Amino acid sequence: MVNGEEHTILLEPRRTLLDALRHNLGLTGAKKVCDAGNCGACTVHLDGQPVYSCLLLAVDCADREVTTIEGLARGNELDPVQEAFILRDAFQCGFCTPGQVMSLRALLNEEPDPTDAQIEQAVTGNLCRCGAYRNILEAGRLAAELQAARRDDEGDRR
C-alpha cells in the first residue's frame, strides 16, 4: 500500500524501495542522493515511521503502509508541514525538502507540540546542502502551530 492505494508490481528482489517508488510507481518526491542512508533525501514513512527508502528492499515492504511526500496533501490542501515550508521559505534548491518534510511530519504525528530540541532531533538525519537549517527549524515550529489551528477549526465546525 503506497499513499493509501494498493499496488502490485513485478520487480527484482534487489530493487530498493526508493527505486521502486521512483521507477515503478513514478513517485519522484523521495530523492536519490547518497544511496547509503547518509543524507535523508529519500525519507518516507513505513507504517508511520520515517525510514531511508534507499536502505530498504521493496520486497520487504510488501503488505506494509508506505507514505511518500506525494501522499501528504489532501486534494488542494497542503499538509501543515508543507505549508510551513512555503511560509518560512525553508527550501533553497528543494532537493532535501521532501525528506525534511517527511521527518517533521513523523515528529508531529507523535508529538503535536514539540520542543525546539525535538524539532532539531527530528531533522538531524537530513542534510541540506544550501544551509537552510534555520528556516527549516522555523518551519517545524510553524507547522505545529498550523496543525493545532486546523484541529481547533475542525473542532469549532462540529
**Which domains can be identified in the chain, with CATH numbers?**
17-71 (3.10.20.30), 80-157 (1.10.150.120)
Kindly indicate the confidence band of residue 152, based on its pLDDT and cuts at 50, 70 and 90. Answer: confident
8 Å CB contact between 137 and 120: yes
Asked whether 146 and 84 are in contact (CB, 8 A), the reply is yes
Q: Which residues pair with 45 in a beta bridge?
A: 50, 67
Q: By the 8 A CB rule, do 94 and 76 touch?
A: no
How confident is the model over 106-143, as pLDDT tens digits? 999 999 999 999 999 999 999 999 999 999 999 999 99
CA distance 107 to 94: 20
Give the span between the Cα atoms of 104 and 60, in whole angstroms: 24
Question: What is the rounded CA–CA span in Å between residue 118 and residue 5?
Answer: 31
Of 19, 23, 49, 53, the C-alpha closest to 36 is: 53
pLDDT 10s digits, 57-111? 999 999 999 999 999 999 999 999 999 999 999 988 999 999 999 999 999 999 9
d(CA 55, CA 36): 7
pLDDT of residue 157: 57
pLDDT tens digit sequence for 17-65: 999 999 999 999 999 999 999 999 999 999 999 999 999 999 999 999 9
Q: Which three cell numbers stand for residue 96?
A: 532535501
99 alpha carbon, distance to own chain's centre: 5
